Amino acid sequence: MSQDTSVLSANIAAPPVAIPVRDLLPWGVFGLVLASLLIYFVGAEQGATSLISGHYVHEFVHDGRHLLGFPCH
């Protein structure tokens, strides 16, 4: 009466689920905007292109700026 369940479970495979592009597009746009903001604040938020006055943002992302290869001083 005992059956080998490993043989039975190996033959059963779940069919792949198709995800429509219209469901992924908003998340892709959100990720692109978020990545663009991150690159801006790490790479360009200083000096003449500064959107926020002072050096608080520059000091906050200073080490990340050097890690990614952006010059800052």
Provide the pLDDT for residue 33.
97
The whole-number pLDDT of residue 9 equals 57
CA–CA separation, 39 vs 9, rounded Å? 47
The model's pLDDT over 54-69, given as tens digits with 9 standing for 90+, comes to: 677 777 777 777 887 8
Among residues 34, 48, 43, 37, the alpha carbon closest in space to that of 62 is found at 43
| Amino acid in position 67 | L
pLDDT, averaged across the chain: 77
**pTM tops 0.75, yes or no:** no
For residue 54, the 8-state DSSP code is S
Q: pLDDT confidence of 4, banded at 50, 70, 90?
A: low
Mean pLDDT of 35-53: 74
Yes or no: say if 58 and 45 are a contact pair by the CB < 8 Å rule: yes
